[in-house]
Structure 1
Amino acid sequence: MNLDLRGSTPDQIRGYLESLGGTVRPDGTVAGPDWTATLEAGEHRAFGAVWPRVVVTFSGDPQSVARVVSGLRLRAMRGGG
Protein backbone atom coordinates (compact mmCIF):
# COMPACT_ATOMS: atom_id res chain seq x y z
CA MET A 1 0.00 0.00 0.00
CA ASN A 2 1.24 3.50 -0.87
CA LEU A 3 0.38 6.74 0.88
CA ASP A 4 1.22 10.10 -0.78
CA LEU A 5 1.66 12.78 1.89
CA ARG A 6 2.13 16.39 0.88
CA GLY A 7 3.25 19.15 3.21
CA SER A 8 5.28 16.93 5.54
CA THR A 9 8.99 16.19 5.51
CA PRO A 10 10.52 12.71 5.77
CA ASP A 11 11.74 13.51 9.29
CA GLN A 12 8.20 14.43 10.35
CA ILE A 13 6.80 11.23 8.85
CA ARG A 14 9.48 9.12 10.56
CA GLY A 15 8.53 10.78 13.86
CA TYR A 16 4.85 10.02 13.30
CA LEU A 17 5.67 6.39 12.48
CA GLU A 18 7.79 6.14 15.63
CA SER A 19 4.83 7.41 17.66
CA LEU A 20 2.82 4.56 16.11
CA GLY A 21 5.25 1.93 17.40
CA GLY A 22 7.91 1.96 14.68
CA THR A 23 11.68 2.05 14.93
CA VAL A 24 13.89 3.79 12.37
CA ARG A 25 16.41 1.40 10.83
CA PRO A 26 19.89 2.37 9.59
CA ASP A 27 18.66 2.19 5.97
CA GLY A 28 15.96 4.81 6.67
CA THR A 29 12.99 2.45 6.66
CA VAL A 30 10.72 2.32 9.69
CA ALA A 31 9.62 -1.05 11.09
CA GLY A 32 6.96 -1.83 13.63
CA PRO A 33 5.11 -4.91 14.82
CA ASP A 34 4.23 -6.76 11.60
CA TRP A 35 4.79 -3.77 9.27
CA THR A 36 7.55 -1.90 7.45
CA ALA A 37 7.45 1.53 5.80
CA THR A 38 9.78 2.86 3.11
CA LEU A 39 9.87 6.64 2.58
CA GLU A 40 10.59 8.40 -0.70
CA ALA A 41 11.09 12.17 -0.48
CA GLY A 42 10.05 14.51 -3.26
CA GLU A 43 8.39 17.82 -4.05
CA HIS A 44 4.86 18.88 -4.88
CA ARG A 45 4.52 21.95 -7.09
CA ALA A 46 1.23 23.80 -7.32
CA PHE A 47 0.09 27.40 -7.62
CA GLY A 48 3.67 28.61 -8.01
CA ALA A 49 4.79 27.08 -4.72
CA VAL A 50 6.87 24.06 -3.82
CA TRP A 51 5.94 21.84 -0.86
CA PRO A 52 7.59 18.75 0.53
CA ARG A 53 6.10 15.43 -0.47
CA VAL A 54 6.71 11.96 0.94
CA VAL A 55 5.47 8.72 -0.61
CA VAL A 56 5.29 6.00 2.04
CA THR A 57 5.18 2.37 0.87
CA PHE A 58 3.94 -0.10 3.47
CA SER A 59 4.39 -3.85 3.60
CA GLY A 60 3.43 -6.44 6.19
CA ASP A 61 0.32 -7.83 7.81
CA PRO A 62 -2.73 -6.13 6.22
CA GLN A 63 -4.44 -5.41 9.55
CA SER A 64 -1.28 -3.95 11.07
CA VAL A 65 -0.65 -1.85 7.97
CA ALA A 66 -4.25 -0.57 7.99
CA ARG A 67 -3.92 0.48 11.65
CA VAL A 68 -0.66 2.34 11.01
CA VAL A 69 -1.97 4.00 7.83
CA SER A 70 -5.04 5.22 9.70
CA GLY A 71 -2.93 6.68 12.50
CA LEU A 72 -0.46 8.25 10.08
CA ARG A 73 -3.23 9.92 8.09
CA LEU A 74 -4.53 11.57 11.25
CA ARG A 75 -1.09 12.77 12.31
CA ALA A 76 -0.15 14.09 8.86
CA MET A 77 -3.47 15.86 8.20
CA ARG A 78 -3.07 19.49 7.26
CA GLY A 79 -5.81 22.08 7.57
CA GLY A 80 -6.54 24.32 4.63
CA GLY A 81 -7.96 27.74 4.49
Structure 2
Amino acid sequence: MRLTLDLRGSTEAQIRSYLQALGGENRPDGSVVGPGWTAQLTVGEHRAFGLVWPRVIVECEGESEAVEAVAKGLRLRATRGGG
Protein backbone atom coordinates (compact mmCIF):
# COMPACT_ATOMS: atom_id res chain seq x y z
CA MET A 1 0.00 0.00 0.00
CA ARG A 2 1.18 3.53 -0.76
CA LEU A 3 -0.20 6.66 0.91
CA THR A 4 0.74 10.34 0.63
CA LEU A 5 0.13 12.81 3.46
CA ASP A 6 0.50 16.58 3.04
CA LEU A 7 1.25 17.90 6.53
CA ARG A 8 1.28 21.66 7.00
CA GLY A 9 2.40 23.51 10.11
CA SER A 10 4.94 20.91 11.28
CA THR A 11 8.65 20.99 10.54
CA GLU A 12 10.67 18.12 9.10
CA ALA A 13 12.30 17.59 12.51
CA GLN A 14 8.87 17.31 14.16
CA ILE A 15 7.59 14.83 11.56
CA ARG A 16 10.76 12.72 11.91
CA SER A 17 10.26 12.76 15.68
CA TYR A 18 6.63 11.65 15.26
CA LEU A 19 7.71 8.83 12.92
CA GLN A 20 10.33 7.72 15.46
CA ALA A 21 7.64 7.66 18.15
CA LEU A 22 5.69 5.35 15.83
CA GLY A 23 8.63 2.91 15.72
CA GLY A 24 10.65 4.36 12.85
CA GLU A 25 14.40 4.82 12.46
CA ASN A 26 16.10 7.47 10.33
CA ARG A 27 18.22 6.05 7.50
CA PRO A 28 21.24 7.65 5.83
CA ASP A 29 19.27 8.08 2.58
CA GLY A 30 16.78 10.36 4.39
CA SER A 31 13.99 7.81 4.66
CA VAL A 32 12.42 6.62 7.90
CA VAL A 33 11.83 2.87 8.22
CA GLY A 34 9.54 1.21 10.74
CA PRO A 35 7.92 -2.19 11.23
CA GLY A 36 6.18 -2.89 7.93
CA TRP A 37 6.55 0.61 6.47
CA THR A 38 8.98 3.06 4.86
CA ALA A 39 8.46 6.83 4.64
CA GLN A 40 10.08 9.40 2.35
CA LEU A 41 9.83 13.08 3.34
CA THR A 42 9.75 16.06 1.00
CA VAL A 43 10.14 19.46 2.65
CA GLY A 44 8.48 22.61 1.37
CA GLU A 45 6.42 25.54 2.51
CA HIS A 46 2.78 26.53 2.47
CA ARG A 47 1.81 30.14 1.78
CA ALA A 48 -1.57 31.52 2.74
CA PHE A 49 -2.93 34.83 4.03
CA GLY A 50 0.46 36.45 3.49
CA LEU A 51 2.16 33.98 5.84
CA VAL A 52 4.52 31.06 5.27
CA TRP A 53 4.21 27.77 7.17
CA PRO A 54 6.35 24.66 7.02
CA ARG A 55 5.03 21.82 4.90
CA VAL A 56 6.18 18.20 4.77
CA ILE A 57 4.88 15.67 2.29
CA VAL A 58 5.20 12.12 3.61
CA GLU A 59 5.04 9.23 1.16
CA CYS A 60 4.53 6.07 3.16
CA GLU A 61 4.72 2.61 1.64
CA GLY A 62 4.40 -0.88 3.07
CA GLU A 63 1.93 -3.30 4.56
CA SER A 64 -1.62 -1.91 4.55
CA GLU A 65 -2.22 -2.14 8.29
CA ALA A 66 1.19 -0.65 9.12
CA VAL A 67 0.78 2.25 6.69
CA GLU A 68 -2.72 3.00 7.98
CA ALA A 69 -1.46 2.99 11.58
CA VAL A 70 1.38 5.39 10.70
CA ALA A 71 -1.02 7.69 8.84
CA LYS A 72 -3.42 7.75 11.78
CA GLY A 73 -0.59 8.44 14.23
CA LEU A 74 0.85 11.23 12.09
CA ARG A 75 -2.55 12.89 11.65
CA LEU A 76 -3.13 12.88 15.41
CA ARG A 77 0.33 14.26 16.22
CA ALA A 78 0.43 16.85 13.43
CA THR A 79 -3.05 18.31 13.99
CA ARG A 80 -2.94 21.99 14.86
CA GLY A 81 -5.87 23.73 16.49
CA GLY A 82 -7.16 26.98 15.12
CA GLY A 83 -7.89 30.02 17.09
TM-score (norm 1): 0.98
> Structure 2 regions of 5+ residues with no counterpart?
none
Counterpart position of 1:44: 46
Tell me how many residue pairs correspond in the alignment. 81
Measure the CA separation in 1 of the matches of 2:35 and 2:54: 28
Measure the CA separation in 1 of the matches of 2:17 and 2:67: 17
Give % identity. 64
> Structure 1 regions of 5+ residues with no counterpart?
none
Q: CA RMSD in A?
A: 0.5
TM-score (norm 2): 0.96
Question: Deviation at 1:41?
Answer: 0.2
Q: Deviations over 1:1-45 (max 9, x none)?
A: 100000011111000000000000011110000100000000100
Counterpart position of 2:82: 80
Counterpart position of 1:55: 57
